[in-house]
Structure 1
Amino acid sequence: MRGLLRWLRAALVLAVACIPMGAVAEDGYQLWLRYRPLPDAQRAHVPDSILAVGVTSPTVEAARAELRRGLQGLLGRELALVPQARANTLVLARGADLPAALDDAPAVRAALRQLGNEGYLVRRARLNGVPVTLVAANADIGLLYGSFAWLRQLQLGTPAEGIALASRPTLPLRVLNHWDNLDRSVERGYAGESIWNWWELPGILDPRYLDYARANASLGINGTVLNNVNAKAEVLGAPFIAKAAAVAGLLRPYGIKVYLSVRWSTPLELKETRSADPLDPEVAAWWKRKADEIYRSIPDFGGFLVKANSEGQPGPQDYGRNHADGANMLARALAPHQGIVMWRAFVYASPEEARAASKGKDAPGAIHDRATEAYAQFQPLDGKFDKNVLVQVKNGAIDFQPREPAHPLFGAMPRTPLMMEFQITKEYLGFATHLAYLGPMFQETLGFDTRIGGRSLSVAQVVRGEQAGRVGGIAGVANIGSSRNWSGSTFDQANWYAFGRLAWDQGLDSRAIAREWAAQTFSPDRRLLDPVTDIMMRSREAVVDYMTPLGLHHLMGTGHHHGPAPWVDNLERADWNPVYYHRAGRDGIGFDRGPRGSNAVAQYAPEVARRFASPATTPPSLLLWFHRLPWDHRMASGRTLWEELVARYDHGVAEVAAMQAEWQRLRPLVDAERFEEVAQRLAQQHREAQWWRDACLAYFQQASGLPLPAGVRPPAQPLEHYRSLSFPYAPGHG
């Protein structure tokens, strides 16, 4: 351990020493932590020395290193670490170590009492009569978070003398889920290989891990699940525990705990038990021994993430048990170490069960609907999970679609702590090719009113435990890989950033976050900032329009999910086929989730269910999610449903063309490397948006038998051409 800390300190010194003082090629590696020189007018009152008060630690060393790195970049000169405050010093101090000579120390201590262990306070102050900038916190990690927050404000152009911050996270658990495999492939990853080089670990620690830790700590992300939810048993063997321990040691000073995804049948597959039955004492004892083994190597290990009885993964239902039986058995193994279980609610029935449920499809409420299954399995278990179990629920009930209504479970499990699961990597939104800023999607879901218990309670409030005091967390499926720019494209970095900022504070506005990211990533120059923010805020809606408008969903290609394939109807499971979801025919289109269909609306609170049960009160953006309607259904726009669908597809393509044009106008304000990278991707996005529009309209025109509205451009190719396209090497299979 001491050797690892020595390595960390050496790496921090090397990182600061290697800060380039001149022009730097903008390849995206530095993310939003670029620290480019401030204009002369903004340099007044920016500290040029740093004082850390009290006992040092690896976390305080990380904070000081980041401040040196940041200020040397922003001021363009070396900084001093001083033994006592002088004019223009930045002072790092825990509340318990506040110097007696600090003015208004009682008020600072009072403010800190409201900020918990992770919160921070930043303010101008006087120490021994000298003006200083104070970063104060109750714990070392708060000092690190406060340092990053202060540097963020400087990068945004805030005058140093005007920075006054007090913040604490609204959720205690803010986690990235890496769907990274042990061979370095990444399931649904579009940014190269996994950053975890399992082959070289534990002996070789890539310096990139340190920059990963810095980036996450700058957002307040405090956990990372290192491996894919489709886990392998080997990850719990001694060699991989040692590898995870090496990563944990490097991330620890940045407040980041490591977690592991575990395969339910691990002890059985390793031939160390005769079953994987959670009620078998032999199985429970194995997991307890394994937990003890892990904590001997990783004392602050976070716990397990589990995908069970879903998509072919083994689980407790294999033995006639339920999800609570399985989760609680693991939770009891982890409880002595304060570990947690994050048990995913992404489940749906076996093919046989799905076929059986579909037999009575004409009877009210009998239509098989994958969207209802997680609720059916988990809601009856509300209150039956141990206190260190969190049920991790996807933002929507299907599967990370461009748009879904919030999952009904968020309004149905008041006695169970819930975790939100977002997908940062864009499995269904054009991979790293398409510009789609997901901040509005995250905000849309977090702000959804569940009406739980008859009260107005947003999803964010539910996750925070405001309905019954059961505090949950938030997880994001990472888009990080070995690509030099981390996420495969410059603008996909914004989704990592937006997730982290909203994980810290769900009340933040997605437009403000976009502007914040753009200012740090490009420039706070309003000539660039205003149009870039506008592009970002329009982008996700454009993708929805040219892929899945009006509540359509799951129209993507089979397996790889690249490109349109609304015609697919031959897969093993009915609910893997796009035709299952859109049901387009001569008489109409859409999935009936009302009382005469699957009755999925009944899983929401009565007030929400009534709104979604009628086409007249369902938002147009979700119309075909909840209703199957005739093509001549009259929309609020005055158009028929068919005309509206065509118009949405055309609008999506036009929006991408407008984004392209806007970006071209920014050429003089953006470095050449990143300008060209974005320009190429927007050009490809425009081509693929046209492809989506043409293929879907060709198919839906054939299904409906209707002519295109007057003046509408017909698809460039016949339907048979689009159906013939094949993509055996699309990325992200994992």
Structure 2
Amino acid sequence: MMRRLVARCAVVLALMLGAAPASAEDGYDLWLRYRPLPAAQAAALPGAVAAQEQDPTIRVAAQELERALAGLRANPREGGQGAIVIGTARSPQVAALGLPLAGLGDEGYLLRSATVAGRPVTVIAASRPAGVLYGAFALIRRLQLCQPLDRLNVTDRPKVKLRILNHWDNLDRSVERGYAGQSIWDWWRLPDAKDPRYIDYARANASLGINGTVLNNVNAKAESLTAPYIAKAAAVADTLRPYGIKVYLSARFSAPIELGGLKTADPLDPAVRAWWKAKADEIYRTIPDFGGFLVKANSEGQPGPRDYHRSHADGANALAAAVAPHGGIVMWRAFVYAETDPEDRAKQAYSEFKPVDGKFADNVLVQVKNGAIDFQPREPFHPLFGAMPKTPMMIEFQITKEYLGFSTHLVYLGTLFAETLEADTFAKGRGSTVARVVDGSLDGHRLSGIAGVANIGRDRDWSGSTFDQANWYAFGRLAWNPTADPRAIATEWAGLTFTPDPTFVRPAVEMMMGSRQAAVDYMTPLGLAHLMATGHHYGPGPWVSDLARPEWNPTYYHRANASGIGFDRTRTGSNAVAQYAPPVARRFADPGKTGEDLLLWFHHVAWDRRMADGSTLWDTLVRRYDRGVTAVGTMRRQWDALRPHVDAERWEQTAAFLNVQEREARWWRDASIAYFQSISGRPLPAGTAQPEHPLDWYKAQSFPFAPGH
């Protein structure tokens, strides 16, 4: 029924518009476009919004509904059918309906069709105002996609408590790993001047159920915790608060020295703990609902508790004690690796954090990247998931595509996020998925969280490209429900962002669903990792081997030599497989069961090893590179065919970026094959094109002004 209605909406819309493309758009409206529906569908829209409660969050929910209804009508002054009644049990209208609100928690909602005084109404009800807001956006999605409003009976609530964006934004408005312009936070003009864009940022996040934002870079400056910057953060908090979004700050571990004049930042020193308590009290006086701290410690040169021979639990608990009286939390990142060459960088976080499981305060979450290295195009799930049952584990995804072509490569990350969340840790037997670790259900944790490194900047389209908006969207939807289907999310996003017409949505979603595997194939096939040029991480650099620390070099990760390629993480190598539960460890330790997608992550494999189809590893590697390039060419042609459905501005930008992606995919393919052929000494498979340039040409390429670094 729903598909038929969406298709009918799309057909009528196509008849209205004829063959002409839509008017130009710059992408600013994201998926909240609210463009007029066909007349038949617009006539069925509700006519008014009834909200009795005087609450800021319910007020913005009503305003958003009114904005959507006005935009979805060709004539905003036309009336509609029925009304939308919104509120909590404090509203007499809602209370009179006797709806089952008790089990919704603080953020769940109901959508119901009902009759009031003999007239049909649509009801959005919740236990708390935040639920009303999320329900309003859920209803708006249905309206935009022409889904039916009669017989509504929807109940939804988030599975994860903390759904947070991490902004790697600096105080000078540069953004580390940012590819969409300057930071949206105008620190120089805050707190007095509040950019209206902050409201649209809040609307977009609330529409996805995102309920927190860390305003500053994890590579934090101590100045972020000074009184002037606390006041600036408070101004942002005031803007975001009605939308159910709390602000958090990244805290520099050495701030007691840099700001407090202490001689130490030892987390067990009473003076240090007193300093953090006083600082937390100061922040909460200014921002009463401040969320808490995010901390990067003893990683990439950042100060931390190990500087004082203390554990990560010691460090986290010092800050946790400071914010606990105010209801605050600490998110302590597990991204660590030693300043001296470890046996295997992939093992270090487990080695440092597993021994302190159960020693963290109850308001601490350990924030763990999805994989053990660093946001690679494909990694196995991090071994800490399932290994720390006494500690809430918060997964960290990277929405900004540091290792996936920045903003000019079309790579839909919903499939990457879902692949990790669906992975089975076997910590408590089959079904112990990463999603169940993260949402707290596996081990019964009260706190749960998902973080995403934001891809948001000052560009008009927010993310540097239209399709990068889909990754922000997918993160939010999967943070709300970690078991959601990434294809369904892509379908929803495409319909909201462009048109619900199936003749557009189906091929667009096919592009999106295959795009991440294409990037893996032309960048890091068969389980290879960290082959990017160093520093800026733009383009291929598998030959780099001269950096000061071994684990900074791509050669450290692929270990190619005349006999084979790949990192041996079995018992004959680093034995990183032993960090996984036994069923997972046994699978990863057997090259016949690991699977081709992760083969070279766990095994050093001979160039002539026969793969499942009888081809050698070398031939398979080359063909994977070719497959990635071919896939991007297919995407480009698919997009060409969709031109009639898309406004000129967004179509042309995406077409230009797909041309960039296809050219750079060939560059990746040619440079990588040229290098690995120089190591393996093998001929290319029959019919395979030679690299366009000799290896030295690729090695000579330099990009000193690559963005985001």
TM-score, structure 1 normalization: 0.92
Q: Give the Cα–Cα distance (whole angstroms) in 2 for the partners of residues 90 and 545 of structure 1.
A: 49
1:255 aligns with 244
Instruction: Determine helix, strand or coil for the equivalent of 2:232.
Output: helix
Q: Could you tell me how far 1:164 is from its partner in structure 2?
A: 3.5
1:143 aligns with 132
**Superposition map of 1:239-638 within 5 A:** 239-351=228-340, 354=341, 357=342, 368-470=343-445, 471-638=447-614
Query: CA deviation digits over 1:92-136, x for unaligned, max 9?
Result: 12124243895xx23x1x2x2221110111111011121111111
Q: Are the counterparts in 1 of residues 345 and 373 from structure 2 also a CA contact under 8 Å? A: yes
Bigger shift: residues 138-147 or 477-486? 138-147
Q: Give the Cα–Cα distance (whole angstroms) in 2 for the partners of residues 637 and 31 of structure 1.
A: 44
Q: Give the Cα–Cα distance (whole angstroms) in 2 for the partners of residues 551 and 183 of structure 1.
A: 38
Q: Give the Cα–Cα distance (whole angstroms) in 2 for the partners of residues 561 and 337 of structure 1.
A: 40
Q: Are the counterparts in 1 of residues 639 and 655 from structure 2 also a CA contact under 8 Å? A: yes
Q: Could you tell me how far 1:270 is from its partner in structure 2?
A: 2.1
Equivalent position to 1:703, from 657, 679, 693? 679
Q: Are the counterparts in 2 of residues 546 and 650 from structure 1 also a CA contact under 8 Å? A: yes
Instruction: Determine helix, strand or coil for the equivalent of 2:263.
Output: coil
Sequence identity percentage: 64
Amino acid at match of 1:27: D
Query: CA deviation digits over 1:533-570, x for unaligned, max 9?
Result: 00000100000000000000000011000000000000
Q: Give the Cα–Cα distance (whole angstroms) in 2 for the partners of residues 591 and 564 of structure 1.
A: 18
Q: Are the counterparts in 2 of residues 101 and 128 from structure 1 also a CA contact under 8 Å? A: no
1:166 matches 2:155: yes
Amino acid at match of 2:91: D
Amino acid at match of 1:433: T
Q: Are the counterparts in 2 of residues 42 and 160 from structure 1 also a CA contact under 8 Å? A: no
Instruction: Determine helix, strand or coil for the equivalent of 1:491.
Output: helix
Instruction: Determine helix, strand or coil for the equivalent of 1:454.
Output: coil
Q: Could you tell me how far 1:162 is from its partner in structure 2?
A: 5.3
Q: Could you tell me how far 1:512 is from its partner in structure 2?
A: 0.3
Q: Are the counterparts in 2 of residues 27 and 485 from structure 1 also a CA contact under 8 Å? A: yes
Q: Figure out how many residues of one structure are paired with residues of the other and give that number.
A: 688
Q: Could you tell me how far 1:393 is from its partner in structure 2?
A: 0.2
User: In the superposition, relative to structure 1, how do residues 162 and 516 fare at CA in structure 2: closer, same or farther (>3 Å)?
Assistant: farther
Q: Are the counterparts in 1 of residues 47 and 83 from structure 2 also a CA contact under 8 Å? A: yes
User: In the superposition, relative to structure 1, how do residues 414 and 645 fare at CA in structure 2: closer, same or farther (>3 Å)?
Assistant: same
Q: Which portions of structure 1, spanning 4 or more consecutive aligned residues, are displaced by more than 4 angstroms?
A: none
Q: Give the Cα–Cα distance (whole angstroms) in 1 for the partners of residues 285 and 606 of structure 2.
A: 63
Q: Are the counterparts in 2 of residues 341 and 390 from structure 1 also a CA contact under 8 Å? A: yes
1:92 matches 2:86: yes
Instruction: Determine helix, strand or coil for the equivalent of 1:160.
Output: coil
1:728 aligns with 704
Q: Could you tell me how far 1:25 is from its partner in structure 2?
A: 3.4
Query: CA deviation digits over 1:176-232, x for unaligned, max 9?
Result: 000000000000000000000000000100000000000000000000000000000
Query: CA deviation digits over 1:426-450, x for unaligned, max 9?
Result: 0000000100000000000000000
Amino acid at match of 1:71: L
Amino acid at match of 1:428: Y
Q: Could you tell me how far 1:507 is from its partner in structure 2?
A: 1.5
Query: CA deviation digits over 1:256-304, x for unaligned, max 9?
Result: 0000001000110125212100010000000000000000000000000
Query: CA deviation digits over 1:57-116, x for unaligned, max 9?
Result: 1111111110111010111344699xxxx96111112124243895xx23x1x2x22211
Q: Give the Cα–Cα distance (whole angstroms) in 2 for the partners of residues 680 and 101 of structure 1.
A: 54
Q: Could you tell me how far 1:455 is from its partner in structure 2?
A: 4.5
Q: Give the Cα–Cα distance (whole angstroms) in 1 for the partners of residues 145 and 367 of structure 2.
A: 34
Instruction: Determine helix, strand or coil for the equivalent of 1:453.
Output: coil
Q: Are the counterparts in 1 of residues 565 and 600 from structure 2 also a CA contact under 8 Å? A: yes
Q: Are the counterparts in 2 of residues 48 and 79 from structure 1 also a CA contact under 8 Å? A: no
CA-atom RMSD in angstroms: 1.5
Amino acid at match of 2:573: G
Q: Are the counterparts in 1 of residues 425 and 432 from structure 2 also a CA contact under 8 Å? A: yes
Q: Could you tell me how far 1:24 is from its partner in structure 2?
A: 5.7
1:13 aligns with none
User: In the superposition, relative to structure 1, how do residues 92 and 101 fare at CA in structure 2: closer, same or farther (>3 Å)?
Assistant: closer
Instruction: Determine helix, strand or coil for the equivalent of 2:574.
Output: coil
Q: Give the Cα–Cα distance (whole angstroms) in 1 for the partners of residues 366 and 260 of structure 2.
A: 29
Instruction: Determine helix, strand or coil for the equivalent of 2:556.
Output: helix
Q: Are the counterparts in 1 of residues 191 and 231 from structure 2 also a CA contact under 8 Å? A: yes
1:37 matches 2:36: yes
Q: Give the Cα–Cα distance (whole angstroms) in 2 for the partners of residues 590 and 174 of structure 1.
A: 36
1:5 aligns with none
Q: Could you tell me how far 1:520 is from its partner in structure 2?
A: 0.3
Instruction: Determine helix, strand or coil for the equivalent of 2:592.
Output: coil
Equivalent position to 2:72, from 71, 74, 78? 74
Query: CA deviation digits over 1:618-639, x for unaligned, max 9?
Result: 0110000000010011111221
Q: Are the counterparts in 1 of residues 44 and 81 from structure 2 also a CA contact under 8 Å? A: no
Q: Give the Cα–Cα distance (whole angstroms) in 2 for the partners of residues 712 and 283 of structure 1.
A: 63
Instruction: Determine helix, strand or coil for the equivalent of 1:661.
Output: helix
Q: Give the Cα–Cα distance (whole angstroms) in 2 for the partners of residues 101 and 416 of structure 1.
A: 39
1:8 aligns with none
Q: Could you tell me how far 1:710 is from its partner in structure 2?
A: 1.0
Q: Are the counterparts in 2 of residues 555 and 565 from structure 1 also a CA contact under 8 Å? A: yes
Q: Are the counterparts in 2 of residues 68 and 79 from structure 1 also a CA contact under 8 Å? A: no
Query: CA deviation digits over 1:621-679, x for unaligned, max 9?
Result: 00000000100111112210000000000000000000000100111111111000000
Query: CA deviation digits over 1:480-529, x for unaligned, max 9?
Result: 00000000000000000000000001111000000000000000001100
Q: Are the counterparts in 2 of residues 145 and 218 from structure 1 also a CA contact under 8 Å? A: yes
1:46 aligns with 45
1:11 aligns with none
Q: Could you tell me how far 1:41 is from its partner in structure 2?
A: 2.8
Q: Are the counterparts in 2 of residues 450 and 605 from structure 1 also a CA contact under 8 Å? A: yes
Gaps of at least 5 residues in structure 1 are 1-22, 358-367
Instruction: Determine helix, strand or coil for the equivalent of 1:114.
Output: helix
1:62 aligns with 60
Q: Give the Cα–Cα distance (whole angstroms) in 1 for the partners of residues 258 and 519 of structure 2.
A: 43
Gaps of at least 5 residues in structure 2 are 1-21
Q: Could you tell me how far 1:309 is from its partner in structure 2?
A: 0.3
User: In the superposition, relative to structure 1, how do residues 277 and 284 fare at CA in structure 2: closer, same or farther (>3 Å)?
Assistant: same
2:8 aligns with none
Q: Are the counterparts in 2 of residues 87 and 130 from structure 1 also a CA contact under 8 Å? A: no
Instruction: Determine helix, strand or coil for the equivalent of 2:366.
Output: strand
Bigger shift: residues 255-264 or 38-47? 38-47
Q: Give the Cα–Cα distance (whole angstroms) in 2 for the partners of residues 331 and 621 of structure 1.
A: 40
Q: Give the Cα–Cα distance (whole angstroms) in 2 for the partners of residues 89 and 149 of structure 1.
A: 16
Amino acid at match of 1:675: W
2:628 aligns with 652
Q: Give the Cα–Cα distance (whole angstroms) in 1 for the partners of residues 507 and 513 of structure 2.
A: 10
Bigger shift: residues 598-607 or 469-478? 469-478
2:641 aligns with 665
1:230 matches 2:206: no
Amino acid at match of 2:353: F
Q: Give the Cα–Cα distance (whole angstroms) in 1 for the partners of residues 236 and 498 of structure 2.
A: 31
Q: Are the counterparts in 2 of residues 225 and 305 from structure 1 also a CA contact under 8 Å? A: yes
1:674 matches 2:650: yes
Amino acid at match of 2:335: F
Q: Are the counterparts in 2 of residues 32 and 520 from structure 1 also a CA contact under 8 Å? A: yes
Amino acid at match of 1:698: A
Q: Are the counterparts in 1 of residues 94 and 125 from structure 2 also a CA contact under 8 Å? A: no
TM-score, structure 2 normalization: 0.95
